[in-house]
């Protein structure tokens, strides 16, 4: 029996690094996956790849910052599948990494701190309304370790992660009585990320060493002495979304290899 057999999942931001891995992992475990994002061609390519591997996937252009776009898409999902079991917001926005708050314009801060928060609100509350009628469902969000402990020079990224975690906890308390779970997956640095690879390259230049050495050094403060891989983050989402995690809600789940100890 697959962990998500017969379930229906909507993934926003499905063509990002973690989004792709999660979509494929959900499909592998038996879920019908509705891929949502702004670039239809890329989404369709991923859907074809999933179907080629024996999974079920459909792609739609959805603006996760537009309530009407999100609601219209969910109506199509309901018409196609008759249910909504999992909603996962993985959209990314400009994060202004390497910037101090005092050096940001209001527009830069708003994009880094609140665009993702607004999107999480739009998609999660829309999903919650549908799930409350069903009296079941799982809403997922994603943040980073700096959502709990701020890190200097991360612009508004830390602020945004903290806001998302606070929002998801409150939502969990409101929809829990209707059988809906809300969980935040909190990750550490995933080395496959192009953004992180660029950071490692810059650090390597500053330190006069190699990018590989920087990656190894950065991982030494984790409990496992390594960084989480994107596939591991995707697999953690599978478990959280499954019935095996039916008692988990209103909390971040730490998938950082012990980069942070809760």
22 has a pLDDT exceeding 90: yes
In tens, the pLDDT along 186-211 reads 998 898 887 677 767 877 887 899 98
Inside any domain, residue 2: no
222 shares a domain with 98: no
Tokens representing 223 are: 């409990």
Query: Domain for residue 23, yes or no?
Result: yes
Residue 120 lies in a domain: yes
Range of the domain at 210: 191-227
Enter the tokens of residue 142: 């994603």
Q: What is the mean pLDDT of residues 78-99?
A: 85
**Quick one: pLDDT at residue 129?**
98
- Provide the token pair at 74: 């969910």
Residues 149 and 222 in one domain: no
Task: Say yes or no: 211 and 167 in one domain.
Answer: no
pLDDT for residue 246: 98
The answer to whether residue 262 is domain-embedded is no
Same domain, 202 and 97: no
* Same domain assignment for residues 21 and 51: yes
Cα–Cα distance for residue pair 46/21, rounded to 1 Å: 10
* Any domain includes 260: no
165-189 pLDDT, tens digit each: 999 999 999 999 999 999 999 998 8
CB 87 within 8 A of CB 127: yes
Q: Look at 259 and 51; give whichever has higher pLDDT.
A: 51
pLDDT at res. 215: 83
73 and 195, same domain (yes or no): no
Helix (H, G, I), strand (E, B) or coil at 182: strand
Q: Based on the domain organization, do 207 and 91 belong to the same domain?
A: no
Asked if 199 and 87 sit in the same domain, the reply is no
pLDDT above 70 (res 98): no
- Please report, for the domain that includes residue 46, its CATH number: 3.40.50.720
Give the span between the Cα atoms of 197 and 191, in whole angstroms. Answer: 6
Mean of pLDDT values over 130-143: 98
Under the banding of pLDDT at 50, 70 and 90, the label for residue 92 is: confident
Does 121 lie in the same domain as 155? yes
Contacts of 256 (CB under 8 A, 6+ apart): 145, 186, 187, 188, 222, 228
Q: Judge whether 206 lies within some domain.
A: yes
Tokens of 106: 């209001």
| The most confident of 38-52, 142-156, 213-227, by mean pLDDT | 38-52
Q: Is 169 inside any structural domain? A: yes
Is the pLDDT reported for residue 95 higher than 70? no
The pLDDT confidence band at residue 108, using thresholds 50, 70 and 90, is confident
Residues 105 and 198 both lie in one domain: no
Same domain, 19 and 133: yes
Question: Same domain for 199 and 71?
Answer: no
Does any domain span residue 177? yes
Q: Domains in the chain: how many in total? A: 2
């Amino acid at each position: 029996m697959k962990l998500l057999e017969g379930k229906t999942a909507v993934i926003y931001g499905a063509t990002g690094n973690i989004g792709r891995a999660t979509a494929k992992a959900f499909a592998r475990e038996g879920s019908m996956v509705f891929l949502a994002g702004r670039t239809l061609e890329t989404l369709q390519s991923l859907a074809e790849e999933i179907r080629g591997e024996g999974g079920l996937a459909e792609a739609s252009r959805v603006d996760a910052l537009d309530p009407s776009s999100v609601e219209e898409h969910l109506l199509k999902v309901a018409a196609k599948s008759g249910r909504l079991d999992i909603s996962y917001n993985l959209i990314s926005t400009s994060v202004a990494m390497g910037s101090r708050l005092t050096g940001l314009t209001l527009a830069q801060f708003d994009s880094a701190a609140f665009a993702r928060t607004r999107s999480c609100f739009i998609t999660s509350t829309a999903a919650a309304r549908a799930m409350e009628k069903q009296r079941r469902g799982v809403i997922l969000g994603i943040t980073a370790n700096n959502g709990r402990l701020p890190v200097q020079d991360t612009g508004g990224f830390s602020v945004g992660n903290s806001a998302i975690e606070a929002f998801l906890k409150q939502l969990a308390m409101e929809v829990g009585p209707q059988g809906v779970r809300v969980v935040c997956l909190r990750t550490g640095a995933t080395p496959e990320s192009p953004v992180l690879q660029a950071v490692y390259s810059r650090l390597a230049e500053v330190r006069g060493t190699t990018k590989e050495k920087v990656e190894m050094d950065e991982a030494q403060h984790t409990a496992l002495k390594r960084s989480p891989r994107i596939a591991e983050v995707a697999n953690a989402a599978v478990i959280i979304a499954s019935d095996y995690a039916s008692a988990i809600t209103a909390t971040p789940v730490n998938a950082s290899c012990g980069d942070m100890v809760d």
